[in-house]
Amino acid sequence: MAVRQALGRGLQLGRALLLRFAAKPGPASGWGRPGPSVAWGRGERPSRAAGPGAQQCQLGLPLPDRYRFFRQSVAGLAARIQRQFVVRARGGGGPGGRAVFLAFGLGLGLIEEKQAESRRAASACQEIQAIFTQKNKLVPDPLDTRHWQGFRLEDYLIGQSIGKGCSAAVYEATMPTLPQHLEKAKCMGLPEKSLDVLPKWAEKGQAGASTFPFAIKMMWNISAGSSREAILSTMSQELVPASRVALAGEYGAVTHRRTKGDLKQLTPHPNIIRVFRAFTSSVPLLPGALADYPDVLPPHLHPEGLGHGCTLFLVMKNYPCTLRQYLREHTPSPRLATLMILQLLEGVDHLVQQGIAHRDLKSDNILVELNSDGCPWLVISDFGCCLADKRIGLQLPFTSWYVDRGGNGCLMAPEVSTAHPGPKAVIDYSKADTWAVGAIAYEIFGLANPFYGQGRAHLESRSYQEAQLPELPQSVPLDMRQLVKSLLQRDTSKRPSARVAANVLHLSLWGEQILALKNLKLDMMIAWLLQQSAATLLADRLVEKNSVETKLRMLFLANLECEALCQAALLLRSWRAAP
């Protein structure tokens, strides 16, 4: 942006000086002398025979021939002015005019050099991005294949409850028709395709993602009615992260096309949950239902239940725990915590790029998978409150208090919690989820979330001031502490985007050599990016595929944007230079 502004100002100044010094001498073009421009002001237009360039030179007006000036390359303009300088020097022009001519010609040469540097940087970023976008394409999950159907509840064996929220219950599940479970099911005398509950498989130490690779989310249906179309329409936000084949059942695809309307579909991302199957079915009496959620059951299962007999089921990958559960038993090191926050920012950036706002980010809605080294990989789930409307994108018209602003009021960004409805009021969600990541960072670093609970330490997003934010421990790197403060800025113009924030952490983790340079130039940045690209490609071939750092580097390079990277570098350098 700074280069564009400098270029624009340089061109404006250049045009004025060009008209002053490069015009042919004569009474018509003398500075302050009456000429054709004055005559035009009285209603007389100059002849078109001289051409638009002549008109521009003679009239000294920015319009209507400005397009011709800007169409010239800066390099050509610089060369032209330098030639004019030589002519004037030979013709004995005034020293002041010659100095201005030379200075301006050299200035335009510098602008052209900066432009060329920017073009090289942008081109290199695009090439790197193209390579890693291809490398970063998600390999189809073995669980999400066409080799099995899975569009009926009867296809699954249901295990124990994983958890429940305000709108659904989640159970572990498997399919006896999967090759790894077919023999076990036969040995246990279970039917190959039948709904069943497997309490024996769920005993501690025996159950897990290997035994139950799926998690089935059963939505609670109180107001959607019992028709399939009404259910899919009312709960359509849950289908935003659905895979391409998730609704390819006997009736699902047709019904979904008819009901989804302007709803966006989220493209795959490694830090975003994927829904493998979605279908409607009758509500069964699952383990713990009468104790955990009797009020939402249909009357034929519980006399006092308010639910309908049919609801929506979502089939996803079974993750070992949520972020909240993980943090209860683990205290990540500062570097590991930084990697975890970086994953959340990468996921949020993907949502923003798709024009989707999650609006319910919290540690209960973030799932964790551990790699072979025990390093956590975070996945954003539960899209029931998301904003994913093709018509409005991230700008929600807030015409009345009845407009849904999302869930989890504690982590609702200030621009959302303080919004007031009106005929032209709009809530901008482009940085709302990024703010929530800043609040969750406190939990990841082992502190209480300042926006939860009660008492003096409790802050409210609608009224807090930045000075009230608790300090992170000194063991947390300076860059990370400054970034959390920046993410929690009330003023959205001062808050970095998710992409810039993610780039800050990428540079902080792996770009120390480039940040240490006193005179950082774009060409140096590109050289560093090429070095990172080569190292990442090599690591991807030699290191295990589930290496968290390698996966994050590939995400960084697949989302490379020159301008966002430069903004991140400037932020980091300003924080480190501050006393």
Q: Any idea which residues carry the catalytic annotation?
A: 360
Which residues does residue 316 pair with via DSSP β-bridges, in sequence order?
A: 215, 275
Encoded amino acid at 553, one letter = R
Residue 531 DSSP SS3: helix
Give the C-alpha separation, 495 to 418, whole Å. Answer: 17
Closest alpha carbon to 464 in 501, 495, 418: 418
Give the C-alpha separation, 577 to 223, whole Å. Answer: 57
Residue 536 DSSP SS3: helix
Q: At what angle do helices 498-510 and 334-353 cross, to 10 degrees?
A: 150
* Residue pointed to by tokens 């015009």: 23
Give the C-alpha separation, 349 to 355, whole Å. Answer: 10
Who contacts 133 (Cβ-Cβ below 8 Å, separation ≥6)?
558
Tokens of 87: 């002519």
Give the C-alpha separation, 177 to 165, whole Å. Answer: 30
Who contacts 191 (Cβ-Cβ below 8 Å, separation ≥6)?
176, 185
Residue 519's Cβ-count burial label (10 Å; 0-12, 13-18, 19+) is exposed
Q: Is the preceding peptide bond at 46 cis, omega within 30 degrees of 0? A: no
What are the angstrom distances between the C-alpha of 168 and each of 202, 298, 405?
Answer: 21, 14, 20
Output the CA torsion sign for 269, 448, 505, 359: positive
Tokens of 69: 């000036």
Beta strands 157-164; 196-197: pairing state: parallel
- Cβ atoms of residues 274 and 317 within 8 Å: yes
- Cβ atoms < 10 Å from Cβ of 533: 19
- Cβ atoms of residues 226 and 185 within 8 Å: no
What are the angstrom distances between the C-alpha of 464 and each of 313, 413, 431?
Answer: 40, 11, 18
Residue 252 gets which letter from DSSP?
H
Residue 470 gets which letter from DSSP?
P
Closest alpha carbon to 354 in 266, 459, 248: 266
Locate the DSSP E strands across 223-365.
Answer: 275-282, 310-317, 321-322
Closest alpha carbon to 249 in 153, 143, 384, 182: 153
CA 326 from centroid of its chain's CA atoms: 24
- Cβ atoms < 10 Å from Cβ of 466: 12
Output the CA torsion sign for 302, 303, 309, 312: negative
Closest alpha carbon to 451 in 433, 432, 470: 470
Question: Cα Rg for the chain, rounded, in angstroms?
Answer: 31
